[in-house]
Amino acid sequence: MMLDAARRLVLPSKRSDVPPFMVMDVMAAAARIEAAGGHVIHMEVGQPAAPAPKVATAAAQAALSGPLRYTETLGIRSLRERIARHYSDAYGVSISPDRIIVTTGSSAGFILAFLAMFDAGDRVAIACPGYPPYRHILTALGCEPVLIETTEETRWAITGDMLKATHARSPLAGVLVASPANPTGTMMTPQALDELIQTSEALGIRVISDEIYHGLDYAMKAETAARLSERAVVINSFSKFFCMTGWRIGWMVAPEPLVRPIDRLQGNLAISVPTLSQIAAQAAFDGRAEMDEVKHGYEENRRILVEGLPKVGLDKFFPVDGAFYLYADVSGFTNDSFDFAKRLLEEAHVAATPGIDFDPMRGNRFLRFSYAGSAAEMREAVERVGNWLGKR
Ligand SMILES: Cc1ncc(COP(=O)(O)O)c(C=O)c1O
């Protein structure tokens, strides 16, 4: 066979050409320092250090002796009912279990939502800075992510006016919002979320709300889009509040007409969601008190950073509203946050994520610090950052 023809047989598709998640490179560099005996404070990773609630692990252990077969594609009925109850307990809103779909983390929720809601070529607005996989998944599925640059004036959120202006230039099919958001840690007020949903729907633009950081709200109580509209698609997960990242389990709330299409899609793509994780997730709701303790730990970490970082020279950051992220403006020190993060890691052994991962336009001015670690680590990080900045 001709060499060219043989090479073509193993060529990746054009749509698989999505950028990697750069934080992985930071993690690899940190691992090299640790292998050489260094002690790195990990503030680059967006995941809790604590394990899943004890009741969740115990339920999984008990289930291990059972057959663990496939489940219904939409998820174990009792788990869907338990999630529905969570909406009335936490938000006072009644959601039918029939509208709840269990997914393999919120990551699978995005794929299902985008496939069920949009066709190839559809334009979907997302906030910039924002979580990189939103745009990469949309691109891989043939949709067009439309980045809307947010500013301090609107608490770094998309507003109805911004949406209107973008839609007028070229029509949008959807908009994705997140509150609390990654990487900024900022939240939309309930009024801001409501205003955006109303404007969006009036324009015929569909709304997806990523609520993965709900429960980790400090500045105000997070509002669910499920209360504001029966047409919005809500995506959530057990990864963050319930500390279950590796269990790969999440859920969606979908408008009734989308449930069967998502059922068909998930049935074909995955058959069902891992049974063991579904069983653990259902039990996790009984471990809320344990998770509230973990949340109090984040609150203390947040206090240490918000008070400590300005004292050592890092005094410009976004409102630290929720999740476990602090997004710092480092433009007073550098115009290349990637290089800044690299040197902070190599010289002070503090790992943070350069903003360029989250914002192709202005990210070179920002660093994201995750405060999901321990209070002792946060104090040590403030000291190291201070000493390092002082020496520069
Ligand atoms: C904003 C946001 N959405 C979604 C996810 C995906 O999480 P998972 O697939 O574990 O539910 C993450 C993970 O970091 C995130 O930060």
User: What does the pLDDT look like over 178-188, one tens digit per residue?
Assistant: 999 999 999 99
Q: What pLDDT score does 350 carry?
A: 97
Q: Which residue is it, tokens 């069902």?
A: 272
Q: Is the distance from the beta carbon of residue 237 to the nearest atom of ligand 1 less than 6 Å?
A: yes
Q: 21 pLDDT band (50/70/90 cuts)?
A: confident
**45 CA distance to ligand 1 middle (Å):** 12
CB distance 132 to ligand 1 below 6 Å? no
β-strand pairing of 233-237 with 100-103? unpaired
Cβ neighbors of 341 (< 8 A, separation 6 or more) are 26, 351, 352, 353, 354, 367
Mean of per-residue pLDDT scores for the chain: 95
The candidate with the shortest Cα–Cα distance to 140, out of 17, 269, 265, 262, is 17
Residues 248/358, Cβ–Cβ less than 8 Å: no
Ligand 1 within 6 A of 282 CB? no
Given a cut of 90, whether residue 285 has pLDDT beyond it is: yes
Task: Name the β-bridge partners of 325.
Answer: 370
pLDDT score of 169: 97
CB-side exposure of 255: number of CA atoms within 13 Å?
15
Whether the upstream peptide bond of residue 180 has omega within 30° of 0, thus cis, is yes
For the cut 80, the answer to whether the pLDDT of residue 23 exceeds it is no
Instruction: Measure 177 CA to ligand 1 centroid, in angstroms.
Output: 13
Do 388 and 344 touch, CB atoms closer than 8 A? yes
Q: How far apart, in whole angstroms, are the C-alpha atoms of residue 292 and residue 285?
A: 11
Cα(66) to ligand 1 centroid in Å equals: 30
Give residue 24's pLDDT: 77
Q: What is the 3-state secondary structure (H, E, C) of 275-290?
A: HHHHHHHHHHHHHHHH
Over residues 54-83, mean pLDDT: 97
The pLDDT score that the predictor gives to residue 344 is: 96
Residue 131 CB–ligand 1 contact under 6 Å: yes
Quickly state the pLDDT bin for 152 (edges 50, 70, 90): confident
**Contact 210/250 with Cβ under 8 angstroms?**
no
- Going through the chain in order, the beta strands assigned E by DSSP cover 41-42, 100-103, 123-128, 144-149, 174-178, 206-210, 233-237, 250-253, 325-329, 350-351, 353-354, 366-370
Q: What DSSP string describes 139-207?
A: HHTT-EEEEEE--GGGTT---HHHHHHHHHHS--SEEEEESS-TTT-----HHHHHHHHHHHHHTT-EE
Q: Is the pLDDT of residue 154 over 80?
A: yes
Per-residue model confidence (pLDDT) at position 158: 97
- Tell me the pLDDT band of 22, cut-offs 50, 70 and 90: confident
| Closest CA relative to residue 345, chosen from 26, 13, 94 | 26
Residue 25, pLDDT score: 79
To test the pocket of ligand 1, the residue of 102, 104, 106 to mutate (highest count of ligand atoms within 8 Å of its CB) is 106
Q: Return the structure tokens found at 388.
A: 């390092």
* Res 1: pLDDT: 63
Q: In this structure, is the dihedral angle defined by the CA atoms of residues 326, 215, 225 and 264, taken in order, positive or negative?
A: positive
CA dist list (Å): 240 to 196, 246, 248, 369? 25, 10, 11, 16
- Does ligand 1 lie within 6 Å of residue 277's CB atom? no
Token pair 């709701």 in the structure block, residue = 285
What separation in Å is there between the alpha carbon of 287 and the centre of ligand 1?
21
Single out the residue of 210, 219, 268 nearest to residue 239, CA to CA.
210
C-alpha dihedral (44, 351, 50, 363), degrees to nearest 10:
-20
Evaluate whether 281 touches 245 at the Cβ level (below 8 Å).
no
Q: Which residues contact 34 (CB under 8 A, 6 or more apart)?
A: 40
Could you tell me if residue 267 is left (phi over 0), alpha (psi between -120 and 50 degrees) or otherwise beta? Answer: alpha
Instruction: Find the length of the chain.
Output: 392
Q: Give the residue-averaged pLDDT of 283-298.
A: 97
- pLDDT digit string, tens, across residues 195-238: 999 999 999 999 999 999 999 999 999 999 999 999 999 999 99
The Cα–Cα gap between 127 and 39 comes to: 35
At residue 3, the pLDDT reads 72
* pLDDT above 90 coverage of the chain, percent: 89
